[in-house]
Structures are given as C-alpha cells and as structure tokens.
Amino acid sequence: MKSVDQFPHHLLSIDDLGSDGIAEVLRVTDSFVEVGHRANPKVPALRGRTVATLFFEDSTRTRVSFETAAKRLSADVLSFAVGSSSVRKGESLRDTVETIEAMGIDAIIIRHPSSGTPTQVAGWITNSSVINAGDGWHEHPTQALLDLYTVRQALGGGDEGMDRFKSLQVVIVGDIRHSRVARSQVAAYAALGAAVTLVAPPTLLPPSIDGWPIAAVSHDIDKELPSADVVSLLRLQSERGSGEFVPSLREYTTRFGLTGRRAAMLKPETLILHPGPMVRGVEIASEVADLPAAHITGQVSNGVAVRMAVLFLILGQSPAEGSSDV
C-alpha cells in the first residue's frame, strides 16, 4: 500500500478518490476479504475509534454492512436512525450532526434522501470524517466501489484485473436519472478507463449529460448487449413505472428488461451486475438473475470488505500498522 497520507478526509463522491484512490481501496479490500474468511474475522485496526451511522432513510442492508465493517475493524459503532417525518421538516440534520460530533466521533456515515447533505455536513463539522452512504440522486460511492471490486475479481483480481478495466465495455441500464448508484458508477468506471454506455428511455436519463465521462447513450438495449463486458442493471422504482416516466412496468420490461432472450445475446463471459434489491420480472428476468454470470452486488460479503477498506483508509491508519494487523 502507498500514499495513505493522501487519502481524502471525506468520501462524498467518487471524484474525491480519483483512479489512484479507487485502486487503493480495491487493494486494501483484498486484504479484508481474506480477513472475512477467517474463523474470527476481526482485526484491531480501528480499536479506540468510533464511527456513527446516521441514516435518514431506511436501508438496513447498507447500514448493517457499514456497521459490520466498523465492528470487524474493532471500532465502536453508534447507530442513529432518524424518522422520515423529521427529515421532511428538515429540522434535525445540523443539530443531530453537531451533537454527534461533540461526542467525539471519528467518522459519520450518512444516508439521506436529499442530494448533497453529506457535502453540507462536511462543511459544518470540524474534525470528523464524513462518508456518503447514499444521498438523494447524487452518489453512493461505496456501492460503485463494490461493483468495481466484483468486476475486478471476476477479471482475475489484482493488478491484472485492474488493467482490464481499460478495455471494458460497460452498459448501465435503467433509471439513471434518479439513481445515485448510476452517478457513482459512471464516475468510477470512467476513472479506471472503461467505456460506459447509458441505456434508458429518454425520460429516465438525466436532463443533461454535458461533462459526463461516458462513451455513448442509447435507447436500444438490444444493440448494446452483444458487445458488453459488464451489464449493470438499476432498479426501477415502481412509482416511476406507473405512467409518469414510462407507461407501465410491463412496457419497461418489454423494452429494457434483461429477459432470457436478451441474456442469450451476451458474450459468455459478460458479467451481469445489480446493486439489489432486484425486482425480478421487471429489470431482470428471474432465470437471468439466477445465472452464474449475475452478481447481486448489494448482498455479497464483498460489501463489508469494501467498506472496511474505506473506513480503514479514511481513518488514517498508517499502512504498516494496518498491514501487520491484517
């Protein structure tokens, strides 16, 4: 490991990391995946440190993943869940954050339905690190890092896997407009040199893609599948499929769903990724979701290892000490 000193104090978006930072997260993740296989999957790396999860939106999956990661690093964990009614009033965010910081917390892991709240929080506090666990439609950096890790592993892992991103054709399909996962994925794949194609009906694309580091935009999934190395599917929330953005979920599936027929167009080695939770029968057919090529990245244990790596790097352990502990 190198340049831990330069690792950012906060993780608000993928751009905070750059390609070197991403590579570093993935390398450190390797060590923690190995730790996860031990009988006692715990290391003392963050003993005496305290992290808080502050979730203004229900996501047990992500929260538990972060909390497990912190505990495996021997950090103390405080968990704050805030009711959605007080979020809508917007009252408690700053008060809550300042209260938490006053408790001597080293890192605040925040999930919020409004874009930009982790950035705002980072501006309010003086010492704690802020980790974005998903904000509005903006970013969900650790989910994208997890996707990259999964892809790198499938490509052979290590530096060899990293190199192969440069020639990778990545197709992201679905509700990109409202997706924080998509924004982080685009930034992350692009940082590693992959060519990203966005596939969606125009109503589910962002109003502008000016400045997005993508290769192409397409409204025809059938054209994009045969050359894809990675197909990344996004969840379509049912309210988006009820006539306002697309006429119906059925019509969406017909045009953009990864059906069995479409899966047959893929190269044998193509990876299918879904951050979960999947809606089987909408964006992905049940039989496709069960193929060995399909990786439901939100559920796999790699998620804990990636988040361990992020916490470990952000909380600034010296590499030597950290490595020997691992």
Partner 1 sequence: MSEPNRSHSTLIITGGIVIDATGERRADVVVASGRIQEVGEGLVVPTGATVLEAGGCVVSPGLVDLHAHLREPGQEEAETIETGTRAASLGGYTAVVAMPNTNPPLDSADAVRNVFELARTATAQVAVAGAITVGRAGLRLAPMAELAALGVRLFTDDGAGVQSAGLMRRALEYARGLGATLAQHCEDGSLACDGAMHEGAWSSRLGIPGMPALAEEVMVARDIALARVTGSRIHFLHLSTAPSIELVRQAKAAGLPVTAEVAPHHFSLTDACVAGYDPVFKVNPPLRPQCDVDAVKAGLADGTVDAIATDHAPHAPEFRDLPFDLAPPGVLGLQTALSLAITEIDLPLTRILALLSWQPAAIAGLDPSNGGGQGGLITPGAESNLCVIDPTATWTVDPMTLASRSRNTPYAGRTLTGRVRHTVFRGEPVVIDGEAQR
> Does residue 90 bind partner 1 (CB under 8 A)?
yes
Q: Which of 133, 146, 173 is nearest to 295 (CA)?
A: 146
Q: Which two tokens stand for residue 99?
A: 């209260």
> Does residue 99 bind partner 1 (CB under 8 A)?
no
Interface mask toward partner 1 for 203-232; x: CB under 8 A:
---xxxxxxx--------------------
Q: Which two tokens stand for residue 137?
A: 């439609």
**One residue of 45, 52, 93, 192 binding partner 1 per CB under 8 A:** 93
Q: Which two tokens stand for residue 242?
A: 């009820």
Question: Which residue, 213 or 226, is less far from partner 1 as judged by CB?
Answer: 213
Q: Which of 252, 234, 248 is nearest to 178 (CA)?
A: 234
Question: Which residue, 93 or 305, is less far from partner 1 as judged by CB?
Answer: 93
Rounded to 5 degrees, what are φ and ψ at 269? -90, 0
> Does residue 88 bind partner 1 (CB under 8 A)?
yes
Residue 260 CB, nearest approach to partner 1 (Å):
33
> Does residue 111 bind partner 1 (CB under 8 A)?
no
Residue 265 CB, nearest approach to partner 1 (Å):
30
Block residue for tokens 């000490």: 321
Q: Are the CB atoms for 113 and 57 separated by under 8 Å?
A: yes
Strand, helix or coil for residue 268: coil
Query: First-to-last CA distance in the chain?
Result: 13
Residue 317 CB, nearest approach to partner 1 (Å):
29
> Does residue 123 bind partner 1 (CB under 8 A)?
yes
- Tell me which residues touch partner 1 (CB under 8 A): 88, 90, 93-95, 112, 114-117, 119-120, 123-124, 135-139, 180, 183, 206-212
